[in-house]
């Protein structure tokens, strides 16, 4: 009896919404009601639980229903006050949930931050939401990314939850490749390709230097031990918690030496995760600001690496990684956005000029050591969870020859 009464109420609510919708006149509201109609005419978009979302991290699109239980700030940390930003929230099946393994971390895309970010809307804690997005990792944790719709459960979507200017979802399938991301570059070659890639990858979020510590623990996690990171040159697996300044701690290596262009550690090239890697403090210091080239004698504590007075040769397993990081920096930083234009050249001893070498060696290394699973995962984590931009030469190794061939 109770069930049928609820059904009747639900039906009545639908009818009421349907009746009200035609009365609203603004284009935004009309678009909202169109979206509703489109949604109901396709396959049923019934919300799934948070538990189901955690069990289906396969990149598919879904609407997840859950209670706001805080803001994730790291893989295992969810804060419930003093929210640092409007960029993320955590949902759970219970409003009282405190165990992060029973939460899904939701990326709040730009247009929803003002209405659903916890820094601006701390009273959302405990509210029940329906959020639509892609079931994929966020902060290296079960996640819902690239979100396209947010709604408070029980609130008619046409009145308060339709974002003002976002386009209604036109496709239901999530992108299965990076083709959408690179759409404006695909088909171009040479300088036109470089320009198109710059315009794509310069868009994103930036970290401060302190946030880089947390990010590197996710991007460079040892696949065989989630408590550790892998050090770039040393190849050593070392506890995430041993970051610091001691000789055998790890710190933040700028693969594009930060003195080349003198950008330091201010937000920008100095904090760009695409070229920052964990490295042993003394090894980092030994590499210093040398350009990359072959030759020299074995570097202390970094088996397989060679160094002489003017160059550093990384171990074979990361030669291509180093090359692609340097090439990314050239394309990402082209001036005109407040940061120095960085350029790769065919020299060593570049000193504080905004150049890095040695191009001919880096091109060989790129061919010799193609992208592997570790490097691709790292690129994806940076895209999903931190900067929301990509290194094109990991996704499209053939573009290196098109630009520098």
The distance from CA 379 to its chain's CA centroid, rounded to whole angstroms, is 8
Give the shortest CB-215-to-Ca ion separation in angstroms. Answer: 20
Nearer to Ca ion, 356 or 388 (CB): 356
Q: Which residue is nearest to Ca ion (CB)?
A: 282
Nearer to Ca ion, 296 or 397 (CB): 397
Q: Give CA angle at 319 (316, 321), nearest 5°.
A: 130
Question: What x-and-dash track marks residues 379-398 binding Ca ion by CB under 5 A?
Answer: --------------------
- Residue found by looking up tokens 């919300």 in the block: 47
Nearer to Ca ion, 222 or 301 (CB): 301
Residue 238, beta-bridge partner list: 229
Q: Are 215 and 386 a contacting pair, CB within 8 Å?
A: yes
Residues 6 or more apart from 1 whose CB is under 8 A from it?
none
Q: How many residues bind Ca ion (CB under 5 A)?
A: 13
The 3-state DSSP class for residue 183 equals coil
Give the shortest CB-243-to-Ca ion separation in angstroms. Answer: 13
Nearer to Ca ion, 295 or 370 (CB): 370
Nearer to Ca ion, 220 or 280 (CB): 280
Stretch that binds Ca ion, among 36-44, 58-66, 204-212, 242-250 (CB under 5 A): 242-250
Stretch that binds Ca ion, among 108-116, 263-271, 289-297, 300-308 (CB under 5 A): 300-308
Stretch that binds Ca ion, among 10-18, 26-34, 245-253, 254-262 (CB under 5 A): 245-253
Q: Return the sign of the alpha-carbon dihedral for residues 165, 170, 171, 172.
A: positive
Give the shortest CB-114-to-Ca ion separation in angstroms. Answer: 34
Nearer to Ca ion, 300 or 401 (CB): 300
Give the shortest CB-403-to-Ca ion separation in angstroms. Answer: 11
Nearer to Ca ion, 282 or 379 (CB): 282
Nearer to Ca ion, 146 or 284 (CB): 284
Give the shortest CB-370-to-Ca ion separation in angstroms. Answer: 7
Among 248, 267, 345, 380, binds Ca ion (CB under 5 A): 248
Lookup: tokens for 50:
């948070």
How many C-beta neighbours within 10 Å does residue 387 have? 20
Q: Which of residues 320-379 bind Ca ion (CB under 5 A)?
A: 320-321, 330, 334, 341-343, 369
C-alpha 230/C-alpha 9 separation (Å) is 57
C-alpha 353/C-alpha 289 separation (Å) is 11
Nearer to Ca ion, 61 or 345 (CB): 345
How many C-beta neighbours within 10 Å does residue 147 have? 19
The 3-state DSSP class for residue 337 equals coil
Nearer to Ca ion, 25 or 338 (CB): 338
Under the binding rule (CB under 5 A), the answer on residue 305 touching Ca ion is no
Stretch that binds Ca ion, among 124-132, 133-141, 298-306, 307-315 (CB under 5 A): 298-306
Lookup: tokens for 115:
């209405």
Q: Among 49, 45, 40, 3, which Cα is nearest to 18's?
A: 40
Q: Are 149 and 111 a contacting pair, CB within 8 Å?
A: no
Give the shortest CB-318-to-Ca ion separation in angstroms. Answer: 5
- N- to C-terminal Cα distance for the chain? 74
Give the shortest CB-223-to-Ca ion separation in angstroms. Answer: 13
The 3-state DSSP class for residue 84 equals coil
Residue 198's H or E segment, with its range, is helix 190-201
Residues 6 or more apart from 197 whose CB is under 8 A from it?
182, 185, 331, 392, 399
What phi-psi label fits residue 204: left (phi over 0), alpha (psi between -120 and 50 degrees) or beta? left
Among 280, 313, 384, 395, binds Ca ion (CB under 5 A): 280
Buried b / exposed e over 181-199, threshold 16 CB at 10 Å, is: bbeebeebeeeebbebbbe
C-alpha 365/C-alpha 319 separation (Å) is 5
Give the shortest CB-94-to-Ca ion separation in angstroms. Answer: 43
Stretch that binds Ca ion, among 50-58, 127-135, 243-251, 256-264 (CB under 5 A): 243-251
C-alpha 402/C-alpha 195 separation (Å) is 12
Q: Which positions touch Ca ion (CB under 5 A)?
A: 247-248, 280, 282, 301, 320-321, 330, 334, 341-343, 369
């Amino acid at each position: 009896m109770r069930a049928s009464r609820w059904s009747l109420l639900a039906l009545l609510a639908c009818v009421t919404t349907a009746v009200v919708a035609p009365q609203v006149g603004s284009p935004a509201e009309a678009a909202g009601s169109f979206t509703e109609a489109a949604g109901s005419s396709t396959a049923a978009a019934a919300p799934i639980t948070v538990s189901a979302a955690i069990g289906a991290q396969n990149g598919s699109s879904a609407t997840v229903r859950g209670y706001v239980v805080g803001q994730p700030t790291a893989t295992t940390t969810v804060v419930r006050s003093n929210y640092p930003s409007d960029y993320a929230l955590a949902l759970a099946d219970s409003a009282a949930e405190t165990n992060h393994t029973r939460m899904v971390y939701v990326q709040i895309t730009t247009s929803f931050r003002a209405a659903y970010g916890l820094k601006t809307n701390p009273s959302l804690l405990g509210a029940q939401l329906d959020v639509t997005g892609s079931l994929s990792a966020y902060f290296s944790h079960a996640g819902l990314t690239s979100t396209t719709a947010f709604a408070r459960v029980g609130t008619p979507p046409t009145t308060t939850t339709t974002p003002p200017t976002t386009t209604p979802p036109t496709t239901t399938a999530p992108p299965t490749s990076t083709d959408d991301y690179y759409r404006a570059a695909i088909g171009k070659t040479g300088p036109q390709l470089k320009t198109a890639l710059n315009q794509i990858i310069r868009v994103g979020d930036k970290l401060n230097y302190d946030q880089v510590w947390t990010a590197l623990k996710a991007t460079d996690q040892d696949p065989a031990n989630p408590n550790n990171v892998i050090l770039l040159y040393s190849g050593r697996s070392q506890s995430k918690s041993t970051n610091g300044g001691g000789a055998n701690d790890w710190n933040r290596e700028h693969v594009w030496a930060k003195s080349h262009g003198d950008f330091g550690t201010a937000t920008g090239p100095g904090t760009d995760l695409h070229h920052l890697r964990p490295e042993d403090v003394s090894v980092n210091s030994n590499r210093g600001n040398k350009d990359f080239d072959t030759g020299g004698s074995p570097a202390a504590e970094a088996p397989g690496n060679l160094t002489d007075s003017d160059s550093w040769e990384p171990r074979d397993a990361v030669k291509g990684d180093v090359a692609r990081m340097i090439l990314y920096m050239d394309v990402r930083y082209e001036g005109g956005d407040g940061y120095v234009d960085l350029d790769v050249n065919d020299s060593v001893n570049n000193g504080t000029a905004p150049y890095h070498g040695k191009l001919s060696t880096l091109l060989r290394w790129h061919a010799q050591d193609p992208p592997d699973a570790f490097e691709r995962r790292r690129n994806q984590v940076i895209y999903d969870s931190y900067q929301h931009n990509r290194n094109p030469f990991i996704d499209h190794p053939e573009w290196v020859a098109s630009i520098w061939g």
